[in-house]
């Protein structure tokens, strides 16, 4: 097994031009896993996504602040996995991103309690219409129950399909002296 110092895998991720959607896997305090698609809003020194602070994903990382993301572009034969710690963003970062959202998504953030059971879609529609009327003619402030999270990777794995069917797998692990790579069997 060969290990070498490597460049930052987030730079490699940017070069691969992966989509903004990924499967986020979390686990609750009992270790029960849950996975769902999230919109990764941007990548800086980690992967940033936004959600309702009462959602299952937010509740999971509040008690178990580690998670994994999996990005895929199957028609190009590429997958990237990232595992790491998750931390809640500050109010300023959450406010700044909320201000960039389309008005309909801002209203939906006010209208949807992601853990609540509802009888039908009409419940959310009525809340949405009520908030639309409430905020007519004004900017919509970020609701306090909505904000961002950053997964800071400790490990990333890049998988690439090859024409000869011997796929490439390269793992990046963060160590005390930087990132190290290891080639893995397909």
3-state secondary structure 54-107: CCHHHHHHHHCCEEEEEEEEHHHCEEEEEEEEEEECCHHHHHHHHHHCCHHHHH
pLDDT at res. 57: 96
**Number of domains composing the chain:** 1
The predicted model scores a pTM of 0.92
Neighbours of 104 (CB within 10 A): 10
pLDDT means per 10 residues, the chain with 186 residues, are 68 94 97 97 97 96 98 95 98 98 97 85 94 97 97 98 92 95 94
pLDDT at res. 1: 39
pLDDT at res. 31: 96
Q: Say if 75 falls within a structural domain.
A: yes
pLDDT at res. 26: 98
What CATH number corresponds to the domain at position 75?
2.30.110.10
Alpha-carbon distance of 58 to 109, in angstroms, equals: 14
- Domain span at residue 28 reads 3-97+143-184
Alpha-carbon distance of 150 to 80, in angstroms, equals: 17
Q: Say if 106 falls within a structural domain.
A: no
Q: Say if 91 falls within a structural domain.
A: yes
pLDDT at res. 6: 63
Q: Say if 89 falls within a structural domain.
A: yes
């Amino acid at each position: 097994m060969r290990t070498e110092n490597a460049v930052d895998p987030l730079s490699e991720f940017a070069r691969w031009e992966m989509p903004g959607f990924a499967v986020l896997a979390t686990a609750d305090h009992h270790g029960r896993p849950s996975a769902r698609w999230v919109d990764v809003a941007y990548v800086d020194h980690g992967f940033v996504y936004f959600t309702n602070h009462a959602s299952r994903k937010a509740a999971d990382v509040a008690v178990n602040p580690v998670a994994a993301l999996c990005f895929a572009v199957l028609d190009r034969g590429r997958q990237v996995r990232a595992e790491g710690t998750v931390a809640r963003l500050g109010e300023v970062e959450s406010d700044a991103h909320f201000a960039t959202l389309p008005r309909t998504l801002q209203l939906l953030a006010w209208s949807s309690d992601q853990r609540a059971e509802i009888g039908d879609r009409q419940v959310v529609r009525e809340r949405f219409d009520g908030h639309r009327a409430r905020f007519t003619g004004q900017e919509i402030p970020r609701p306090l129950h909505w904000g961002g999270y950053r997964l800071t990777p400790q490990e990333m794995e890049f998988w690439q399909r090859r024409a000869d069917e011997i796929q490439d797998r390269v793992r990046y692990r963060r160590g005390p002296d930087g990132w190290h790579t290891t080639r893995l069997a397909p």
